[in-house]
Structure 1
């Protein structure tokens, strides 16, 4: 699918994976609406072709407003990428007691329900557009994690939320096939995002040493490059792609 003269919607678009993806899509000719919380947008980079919209992915009304912004650019909405998410750590049962149940629900609400909400409401809008010459109306790329397969100690909430995104991929692709909308998921390994900016170089080096090859952390730009490949590769559908340097996470 050609990105030129199309619109794209990217959640978590103010930093990390989302910011890199918004930039990459804009560089390929898309008009991008980057969605994030207002506080994050205040720190977002100024990128040609990227417009920021404040919205919380757990709010249906705010997601609808963001989709409306993307469909109001005068070009068809063709690409939707969900990068918004959180990853707090807590054991099911630890020294201080049972896992905070409200925190578990919050992680699932943002990472899984938020992803579904964005996909469903964006698909509703994409289904109303005219298809391209190949019958395509759009592509949805969701973000899981290798934690969906190799969840570590303390990752019960995060791993199960991302496992839900993995499980969502195929049925969503089958549901949306009749509208000419493809659905794929990327499951990144350890990516050098702002979430890792606060840890020491020694700790980062230890993380990188566990990756078979290349023995380093992934870069947000590599995730963004994979998104553009999925969008432009018309026969990729219903697939979960690990981007992890062959890493398989140990229990801790």
Structure 2
């Protein structure tokens, strides 16, 4: 069972969500629902849990302030937010799960099924610190991304990633120090996280950092030669778009 606490300052939200969890998520053991973040803080200090479903904007103590006060914590967090698109990208980069209000309960159920009964080693302090850094109002693009590994999460600088290559629901990451990682994510999820960066999806199985592209090869329908010596194929459907991004005319 996943020992769970809900914190949202709106009573109807906690009641609705609690009812849904009791009917649709048998793996969830709802210990308590709170509308007061100060009372929730006291409970969480004294009580071990597996999961906190947390609203961000609350009076007296917002969700981020609460988590900072609880550090270090070893439970998973799912944020409930009405934040803008920039903030949603920040959640993706930091590997925290989130849901927009009004809540899509079926999407939440799917997320809880993925979570499972076993807690993850989530490196909560590093992830929260990183999330807060990239939530600051700035025009700068995030410089790192949190990648889930068997041990926890690894924070990798984007300018060291050469390319991503998918294999079903797994993705392999190739870096400029010859290190590689395998993570349990889809390439589509990673592509969504990197929309504002210099990565380009040139094939169903390949996402490339354009900073590491050395040559465009015409042979075999077209490919990009990256600095690690790999020829990344360009799919026929993505060829025109890829060439336009590289400022190459398709003759």
TM-score using structure 1 length: 0.35
Larger relative helix fraction: 1
Tell which structure's C-alpha radius of gyration is larger: 2
Structure possessing the higher relative contact order (Cα contacts under 8 Å, 6 or more residues apart): 1
Larger relative strand fraction: 2
